[in-house]
Amino acid sequence: MSDGFTVAIDGPAAAGKGTVSKAVAAHFGFSHLDTGLLYRAVGAKVLAGMDAAQAAQMLVADDLENDSLRTPAVAQAASQVAVIPQVRAALLDFQRGFAARAGGAVLDGRDIGTVICPEAHVKLFVTASAEVRAQRRFSELSGRGITDSIEQVLADVKARDARDMERAHAPLRPADDATIIDTSRLSIEQAVAAAVAAVNAVRGTA
């Protein structure tokens, strides 16, 4: 397979797409982009008082290296700015340029297979039940000393799902030709194996 091989991985929050994406990129030696970090970086700038569209237009690679991008407040801000068409348009070229880089690329997000890279060689949709995803997020937050209740985390997960799936521009949904990987009852190793198998099926390698 020639350079420029693109893998698009979409899915809701806490489904495991980030873990799967990193593992797939490492397995095949592809570059990886967590596109959610772009929106988190914009969200962080909005929380600091900047206009969302301006923040997206001024975004630079160094903005993605900020540890504070993983906080719940920034995650909520990211979901809110992601519904703004001007923000999505400003970040479109960055993502498509990354996808076309030599050596192969894996991009994960919410509209990679449907909007950003509709011609991606492989499209995966990594999902899990809201309850399973809430439990995973609750465990992650508890490990970082954040004491939201499981009920609050589940409510937040469902609210974010609704925002992502019901937005007018680039809603979260599987591409028509995406392979669905439901991680509700899969181990990390099983989910990664399913994703690698899907890529291998297209690349024609074992």
Amino acid 193 reads A
Q: Confirm whether 206 is domain-assigned.
A: no
pLDDT at 93 over 90: no
pLDDT at 206: 47
- The answer to whether 139 and 162 have CB atoms below 8 angstroms apart is no
Q: Confirm whether 83 is domain-assigned.
A: yes
Is 118 annotated as ligand-binding?
A: no
Cα angle for residues 20, 25, 30 (degrees, 5° grid): 160
Question: What domain range is 112 assigned to?
Answer: 6-198
Is 13 annotated as ligand-binding?
A: yes
Q: Confirm whether 189 is domain-assigned.
A: yes
Is 17 annotated as ligand-binding?
A: yes
Domain count, the chain: 1
At 137-193, the pLDDT tens digits run: 999 889 888 888 999 999 999 999 999 999 888 899 999 999 999 999 999 999 999
The single-letter DSSP state of residue 120 is -
What is the CATH classification number for the domain harbouring 39?
3.40.50.300
Is 194 annotated as ligand-binding?
A: no
Mean pLDDT of the chain: 93
Mean pLDDT of 79-108: 92
Is 171 annotated as ligand-binding?
A: no
The residue behind tokens 């990679």 is: 112
Q: Residue 107: pLDDT band by 50, 70, 90 thresholds? A: very high
pLDDT at 205 over 80: no
Number of Cβ within 10 Å of residue 84's Cβ equals 18
Is 178 annotated as ligand-binding?
A: no
Is 15 annotated as ligand-binding?
A: yes
Taking Cα atoms as reference points, which of 24, 8, 34 lies closest to residue 188?
Answer: 24
Q: Residue 126: pLDDT band by 50, 70, 90 thresholds? A: very high
pLDDT at 111: 93
Global pTM exceeds 0.85: yes
Is 158 annotated as ligand-binding?
A: no
Question: Which H or E run contains 74?
Answer: helix 72-81
At 183-199, the pLDDT tens digits run: 999 999 999 999 999 99
Is 19 annotated as ligand-binding?
A: yes
Mean pLDDT of 62-67: 88
